[in-house]
């Protein structure tokens, strides 16, 4: 059995088909689905299906949502499921077959929009970042056996790059594996900001992470005009 943790925040407008996806995930697949919401104001909480376990927290960051879901997980294999990614049905069954192995990794990344730059981004993510750098981003739908984390481990409540932090912890146990089935993720940021501009922004964010720039300041730039993961109040 698998515990699927889905962090949500104001999903109704930008991610309307999420709720039917979650309902089917909990109904037809060998998984408990845990939805952790950060005080959404758009009706997200009310639309979370009744066959999911749902929790509301005060924390505003996705890291805090993921930590709560990991704490609530009843099964040894935890799947951190990006709310705007969709895993192939076969992928869930494939993960269930290896749910008691002490492994970690992600599914094969692809975007829901075809473009040469996006195709290259997915190739790099699958073939370089995951395979050689041992970093698995959340849009791969990162999974791990709980025994690979020390007792009481918690992701730092950063505003961005929480998936990098947990990857850095998990890779101490060995290389991640890649399941061949797809995790198709939304290209909304690229389409809204422009594909090349978003790629350059992503590269700048990664550089900022290694230069230890404030995660909150970086995420304010990253979320500007979209507020998909976090909403920042305008200051007078």
DSSP per-residue codes, 23-74 = HHHHHHSSEEEEEEE---SSSHHHHS-TTSEEEE-S--SHHHHHHHHHHH--
DSSP 8-class letter at 211: T
Give whole-number Cα distances, 198 to 19, 59, 136, 190, 194, in Å.
Answer: 27, 27, 19, 5, 6
**Contact indicator for 129, 135 with CB cutoff of 8 Å:** yes
Tokens of 226: 């979209």
Rg of the chain over all Cα atoms, to the nearest angstrom: 17
pLDDT tens string, the chain, 236 residues long: the values are 899 999 999 999 989 899 999 999 999 998 999 999 999 999 999 999 999 999 999 999 999 999 999 999 999 999 999 999 999 999 999 999 999 999 999 999 999 999 999 999 999 999 999 999 999 999 999 999 999 999 889 999 999 999 999 999 999 999 999 999 999 999 999 999 999 999 999 999 999 999 999 999 999 999 887 877 888 766 44
Question: Whole-prediction pTM value?
Answer: 0.94
**Contact indicator for 82, 138 with CB cutoff of 8 Å:** yes
**β 53-56/31-37 pair status:** parallel
């Amino acid at each position: 059995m698998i515990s699927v943790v889905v962090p949500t925040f104001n999903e109704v407008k930008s991610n309307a088909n999420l709720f039917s996806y979650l309902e089917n995930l909990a109904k037809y697949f060998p998984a408990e689905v845990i939805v952790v919401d950060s005080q959404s104001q758009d009706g997200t909480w009310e639309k979370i299906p009744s066959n999911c376990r749902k929790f509301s927290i005060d924390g505003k960051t996705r890291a805090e949502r993921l930590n709560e879901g990991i704490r609530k997980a009843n099964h040894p294999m935890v799947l951190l499921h990006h709310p705007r990614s969709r895993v192939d049905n076969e992928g869930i069954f494939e993960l269930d077959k290896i749910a008691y192995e002490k492994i970690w990794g992600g599914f094969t990344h692809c975007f829901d929009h075809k473009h040469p730059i996006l195709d290259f981004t997915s190739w790099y993510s699958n073939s370089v970042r995951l395979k050689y750098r041992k970093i698995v981003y959340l849009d791969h739908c990162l999974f791990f056996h709980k025994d690979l984390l020390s007792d009481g481990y918690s992701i730092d409540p950063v505003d961005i790059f929480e998936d990098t932090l947990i990857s850095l912890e998990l890779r101490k146990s060995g290389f991640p594996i890649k399941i061949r089935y797809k995790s198709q993720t939304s290209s909304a940021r690229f389409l809204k900001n422009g594909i090349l501009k978003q790629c350059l922004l992503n590269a700048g964010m990664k550089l900022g992470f290694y230069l230890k720039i404030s995660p909150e300041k970086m995420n304010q730039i990253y979320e500007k005009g979209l507020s998909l993961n976090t909403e920042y109040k305008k200051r007078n």
